[in-house]
């Protein structure tokens, strides 16, 4: 089992990605709002020459991104990654995002039952 982590910098493509995943029967996961470390450093040290030059590279139009966590059986990981590639290939430009997997040794759903 693997956890696929997708950091999507172009959040306008989130719905397209979720639709593509769901069309391939991948319908569970967690989505959180996130921000890159470089962006945070630029905001925290606005007068720094080093981080100020990062501001030019990063631009002002993308302050946040979305991070998606999906736990999948090993055999579904390539399909999920292909869904991400398909949607991200429609985007022109750099720094669209990243994806990677982490092995999952144990997974358990937490079901709270009433007393």
Task: Quote helix, strand, coil % in the chain, to nearest 5.
Answer: 40, 25, 35
- Tens-place pLDDT, residues 55-110: 555 555 556 899 999 999 999 999 999 999 999 887 776 678 899 999 999 988 88
CATH number 3.30.70.120 given to 2-103 = yes
Other Cβ atoms within 10 Å of 17 Cβ, number:
22
pLDDT digits (tens, 9 = 90+) for 17-49: 999 999 999 999 999 999 877 666 666 666 665
Q: Determine the pLDDT at residue 55.
A: 54
Domain ranges of the chain: 2-103
């Amino acid at each position: 089992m693997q956890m696929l982590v997708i950091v999507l910098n172009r959040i306008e493509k989130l719905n397209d990605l979720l639709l593509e995943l769901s069309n391939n029967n991948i319908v569970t996961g967690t989505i959180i709002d996130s921000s890159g470390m470089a962006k945070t450093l630029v905001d925290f040290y606005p007068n720094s020459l080093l981080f100020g030059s990062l501001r030019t590279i990063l631009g002002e139009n993308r302050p946040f991104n979305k991070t998606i966590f999906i736990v999948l059986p090993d055999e579904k990981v390539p399909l999920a990654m292909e869904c991400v590639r398909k949607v991200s290939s429609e985007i022109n430009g750099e720094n669209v995002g990243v994806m990677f997997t982490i092995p999952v040794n144990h997974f358990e759903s937490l079901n709270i039952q009433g007393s």
